[in-house]
Each structure stands twice: as C-alpha cells, then as structure tokens.
Structure 1
Amino acid sequence: MSDGALGLISYGQTRLLVDDFAASYRFYRDVLGLPLKHETPGDVPESDDGPYACFALGGNDLALFTRAFMDASIGAEHRPRGEIDSVVVVLRVEDVDKAVESVRARGVRIVAEPVDQAAWGMRVAHLRAPEGTLIEFCQYDD
C-alpha cells in the first residue's frame, strides 16, 4: 500500500507458534545460539515454560509464542497441529484501529477486532491473508 492508509511503521517480527515451548526455546537459544532481545526481568521467560520469548537477529525479531495463547487471543478453537496457525506476520502500525478500518474497506475479513493486550504492552488486531496466513497489526511506543 503506497498510499500510507495503514500508517505502516515497520516489519514487526516473525512469530513462530509452538506447542512445546520449552523444547523450541532451548533449540533457538542453546542450539542456534540466538541472543534474547531483552535481558531484563519480565521481558524474557522466567523459565523454559514461556509463553513468549523474543530473539534479536540482525536487526529483526524472531519470537516464539505458545500456540494455545495465540488461539485464545483471537478467539479461535485450539486445534490439532495440521489445521493450525504456525506463523504470525506482525506489522507495526501507527494506529491499529485506523489500519483495520483501511483494510476492512478493501474487503478484508478481520479475525479479531482491535484490543489492548496489556500483558503484551500493545494494541493489536488480527486478519488473514488470502491463503489463511495470520497477520497481526500492532501498535506500541518505543
């Protein structure tokens, strides 16, 4: 969208949705050696239990998130693997509500309306790309 209707700021992150958070967390941290983005209390899991971790990778974020939490956040039934989301494309926007109205006007079906996610420190909304990929608009202050 070159017209700026979304108020797109940047690519937010790639978020991998996982069932076994501990195994995935140890793989990305210990096997691949990816550095955690934040090393302060509250920003990283207190243990391998998750539900979220973010790794810094060349100026981009690769995050892990427990799939059951993502399903709950968009009001989806927790489904068996194979019928589920495994990736969320996260796009940071200036104003989630305006971005949602912009894509809704273009015929996009919104999966989850804008909502404040206090635990995440951001406002989010979710939609789907034509082949079903879950897209998240997020709004947060630096």
Structure 2
Amino acid sequence: MSNNNLGLLSYAQTRVLVDDFTTSYRFYRDVLGLPLKHPDESGAEPADGPYACFVAGDADLALFTRAFMEAAVGAEHRPRDGVDAVVVVLRVADVDAAAKTLEARGVVLAAGPVDQDAWGMRVAHLRAPEGTLIELCQYDD
C-alpha cells in the first residue's frame, strides 16, 4: 500500500452490519455459498452471531451485529434509512449462470443480467435479507 503515514498494511475486510444476524448469515452461507474463513474446530457455526467472516475470492466479507458495532463506537441505535450506503460487489465467471443459480435458490433479482458498456462489464443485482445491495459482475482482466 502507499506510504500515507498511517502504517497502512492492507485492506482488511468489508463488514456488513446487520440486525437479523441468523437470517443474514444463512443467506451469505447458503444462498451465496461463501465459505467461512475461520471455521470452529468443533464444527459449530457462528449462525447466532455476533460475528462471522466469509471468504470471497481474495477478500474477506464479514457480518457483524449492528448493536455490537454501535456499542463499540458509543453510538445510539438507529433504524436503517433505506438508502444504499454500500454495494457488495462479487466478481463471477459468468453473470448469467450465477443469476440462474441464485434464482433456483429462491432469490428474486433486483435487476437481471445486463451489459454495462460504460463500465466494461456485465452485471446483475440482488439484495441480501436486510436490503444490502449485492452486485454480481463479470469482466475480463
């Protein structure tokens, strides 16, 4: 990483804050099929939270209970305001195939596969249980 006088070593992870941890956990694990980064030796899964970290290619995508994060920073609990503040982007080999797989798993796409010529990629969009926007993208290196 660049020398920015912070001692920054790397980008660590994206952490999605959720209220209904169990439903979100099952979505990221079962519907998106993301594997846990640190499975418990006993085979127990952190389905009840408050934290789970998944592997998404070369990156980490974590779930964390919003109430715990708010407590950590001393913030008051606020309801989601419905405005997208983040998009989780997952690069896939074939957007159309991935979209069909997700639809077979019961996902209703927010927007089906379409070429975004200005972006140089093909994309599809869906929402996680609490509304987080997820983009599937396909592009050549």
TM superposition score category, shorter chain reference: 0.5 to 0.7
* 3-state SS in 1 of match to 2:48: coil
Q: CA offsets, 1:66-100, max 9 Å, x none?
A: 0000000000011122189x76xxxxxxxxxxxxx
Q: Identify the residue that residue 13 of structure 1 maps to in structure 2.
A: 13
Q: Identify the residue that residue 38 of structure 2 maps to in structure 1.
A: 38
Q: CA deviation at 1:47?
A: 4.5
Which 5+ residue runs of structure 2 have no aligned equivalent? 87-141
Alignment of 1:1-142 (within 5 A): 2-41=2-41, 46-82=45-81
Distance 1:49 1:40, change over 3 A: closer
Relative contact order: is structure 1 or structure 2 higher (C-alpha 8 Å, sep ≥ 6)? 1
Letter of the structure 2 residue corresponding to residue 54 of structure 1: C
Which protein is bigger by CA-based radius of gyration? 2
Q: CA offsets, 1:82-119, max 9 Å, x none?
A: 189x76xxxxxxxxxxxxxxxxxxxxxxxxxxxxxxxx
Q: CA deviation at 1:16?
A: 0.2
What value does the CA root-mean-square deviation take over the aligned residues?
A: 2.9
Instruction: Give, in whole Å, the separation in 1 of the partners of 2:40 and 2:47.
Output: 16
Q: CA deviation at 1:24?
A: 0.3
Which 5+ residue runs of structure 1 have no aligned equivalent? 88-142
Q: May I ask how many residue pairs the two structures share in their alignment?
A: 86
**TM value normalised by structure 1:** 0.53
Percent identity of the aligned residues? 68
Distance 1:41 1:68, change over 3 A: farther
* 3-state SS in 2 of match to 1:15: strand
Letter of the structure 1 residue corresponding to residue 51 of structure 2: Y
Instruction: Give, in whole Å, the separation in 2 of the partners of 1:10 and 1:50.
Output: 26
